Structure 1
């Protein structure tokens, strides 16, 4: 009887596989195996971790344990025990509103609790399904969502003992990389090039092959952080294609209150691809350091795109790198100031500012400084008189930020709630997502160098706008 059932299962799987270009056939026996990991840092980094975890779980034929998506100021990488302590406290159900009252004078524990409550105030969580649709991945990887980040709770829920659990301890953020090509892995080790130059220093990483994880017999494989867009280096066509499928599945959904908010703002701006955009990160240290250089690059690139003459590019050295930074065009002599009205059809805005054509085959080099531009940014007040970036408006006065958008367009966000504190408003936590997703609906978007989040927003623009008309990001490089 069992053989007959197995044959039917296999025949069904083969029939399904004939409809898709790649296929992983899974048989989940009574002794199902699992893969878990520890999220950290901002939402963009968590998404990269999730993508890596989905791919690794699919290849290892393990069910993936997925924690919630964390919003706000999320702790960065730290050793496993510390990360579990922070995330465990924040994700274990409790009466946060009562616990996180102001400390009591003379009561030391109330002050110790205060530090954890400070984290809670800057933290929120939602299910990943509110951001992404995982249904396209169901043929390739099995998923189990786990609300509480706790190894003990996970073991209890799965009925797994310490003896049947393997815990990998990270030494640092970039602790290991996986290479499917064994010869490539050996070559890297021979060259001693198994390191990464981060913003702060050089970190060496271990090199693993798939066999390193495949050979683990334990039912639960608990990893630490698995952040890094080059963490898993695949060469087999079926794995490379699955990696791409995962990337496509992890685009933000537009059929949610979050997506409804974005679509409303895009319509307010004039519709998809009728404006230009910049995704400009300035708050974190590395981006703050290069803010002015990036500003000048954005001014130059937007000028080129809209037909404003720019100075010649500097010469290249022997490595094909500019010998100096390309310069933006000279400051306009006659600066125009115009504030965006609530209704963008009102004058003088509508007389001065122009939409760009949503048809990518039509040139826009006649629009120049009159182009409507949307800047998504973590700068608190780009238009403020003390803003270091204020000169942007001299070049492109028809620029809007989220501060210029009517507040009622954000109302759909009120339908979304924190998983662990339903009374906590999520609007402020979701603003960076709304801001970036709006920018991704532009005809063209210029993104902040070395930002994984900005790179992802460029990829959303490619998926939502460029590919609809037969273009890719490479079409404009």
Structure 2
């Protein structure tokens, strides 16, 4: 065989091998892509969890995760201040178990009342799916669309639903020095959660509470303390630390009594969280500071929070109003601050400040304050509330979350401004069992040089 034929054969063999390698690379890449972008249903449970993917842009977490990194997350529900308590509990458990906290966003304008694992996932997924479908396909006044989500009676409550990341409202700088915290993003798909954080199919531990307040967590295995009466069982955090799976997924973490701490380091860290986790949105701080100055400055007035609406608080509204009125009157009498002259009732704010009349600031959810709280206005001079400073709120203007630019957050921010104002008085009197009052009391303690709790 000639040298030319030998070389030609070699060239052809090389060409065939090269083409074969290229084909294999293309097939492998395509297969890899299929794996990367295919989500699967959870294999660790037979209970169906809706896994909705919305067309809303989902902020993905930073990809800089250690291969050995372990995560902890939970599901949010109920109102803003209840969600805040759950967040604090999530930070505490992440600290004790040495896991990165995947922090769910704040639910705004609608939050599920349910607190069990599967029902929460299904409700949260339904909210996102219904909201997106209605936005894309339904007219708000048109019920002719065959899709059930276009039924305004059932689903219009989700139209104003929105979400906000906690670190857009609160300061986490100091806390993040002790616990790694990342945002979950605006999504409640279990599949997406695993994909975003590179969690393997069988590397998730679902810590399921199938009943509200099922477990109360203890950091001391030898604790002799009894569980609080709302909880069903005691659970030791040491058992959470033994879980090997990459993701530890809890249910609800709401309740200030959810975690019982007896270890001194853990107690001090909880104190640290409450001291540092404070509102740091400059817009809200600037507005509240201006109103506080008009009231005479921090520590120069008396703050109250009177909650009279919504379920339980509506039922006990009269009792709570009497309770707070008596506490306020007792303080004024003991401090020799009560002013009975009728002329003082005619004073405006500037006159009250100029004449050193004790100023009372009331934060409340009542829309008819002077009527619902008439005892305070009728018997005590110089009583003011946020409605007296409505012009100061105009600077808040339109504000939205990057989850939904069409939903104004002003109604969400105003009660927070109200809280910041009432909490910066010399003393604060709050509504019993209110988590709003609980936060206001913490802010008041810090404002007066004390620990938050």
Give TM-score scaled by structure 1 length.
Answer: 0.73
Deviation at 1:457, TM superposition (A): 0.5
Deviation at 1:130, TM superposition (A): 2.2
Give the total of aligned pairs. Answer: 386
155, 158, 165: which one aligns with 1:127: 165
Give the secondary-structure state (helix, strand or coil) at the position aligned to 1:65.
strand
Match of 1:401 in 2: 385
Q: Distance in 2 between matches of 1:179 and 1:138?
A: 24
Match of 1:149 in 2: 188
Does residue 371 of the first structure (1) align with residue 358 of the second (2)? yes
What pairs with 1:19-418 in structure 2 (closer than 5 Å)? 29-90=66-127, 94=132, 97-99=135-137, 101-102=139-140, 104-110=142-148, 114=152, 117-147=155-185, 148-184=187-223, 187=224, 194=227, 196=229, 203-253=230-280, 255-307=281-333, 337-338=345-346, 340=348, 344-345=349-350, 350=351, 353-354=352-353, 370-384=357-371, 387=372, 389-407=373-391, 409-414=392-397, 416-418=399-401
Deviation at 1:247, TM superposition (A): 1.3
Kept after mapping to 1: 8 A contact 2:100/2:181: yes
Deviation at 1:307, TM superposition (A): 2.7
Q: Distance in 2 between matches of 1:440 and 1:309?
A: 19
Return 85-94 or 256-265, whichever deviates more: 85-94
Change (3 A) 1:80 1:339: farther
Give the secondary-structure state (helix, strand or coil) at the position aligned to 1:405.
helix
Q: Distance in 2 between matches of 1:91 and 1:106?
A: 21
Q: Distance in 2 between matches of 1:258 and 1:96?
A: 32
Give the secondary-structure state (helix, strand or coil) at the position aligned to 1:282.
coil
Kept after mapping to 2: 8 A contact 1:165/1:220: yes
Structure 2 residue runs without a partner (length 5+): 1-64
Change (3 A) 1:35 1:297: same
Return 131-140 or 104-113, whichever deviates more: 104-113
Deviation at 1:354, TM superposition (A): 4.1
Give the secondary-structure state (helix, strand or coil) at the position aligned to 1:274.
coil
Which structure has the larger Rg? 2
Structure 1 residue runs without a partner (length 5+): 1-27, 197-202, 311-328, 357-366
Q: Distance in 2 between matches of 1:71 and 1:229?
A: 21
Give the secondary-structure state (helix, strand or coil) at the position aligned to 2:406.
coil
Deviation at 1:412, TM superposition (A): 4.0
What pairs with 1:448-463 in structure 2 (closer than 5 Å)? 448-463=431-446
Does residue 447 of the first structure (1) align with residue 430 of the second (2)? yes
Change (3 A) 1:354 1:413: closer
Residue deviations 1:137-181 (CA, integer Å, cap 9, x gap): 223211111112221111111122331111122222212111122
Deviation at 1:444, TM superposition (A): 1.3
Give TM-score scaled by structure 2 length.
Answer: 0.77
Deviation at 1:455, TM superposition (A): 1.7
Give the secondary-structure state (helix, strand or coil) at the position aligned to 2:178.
coil
The alignment yields a C-alpha RMSD, in angstroms, of: 2.9
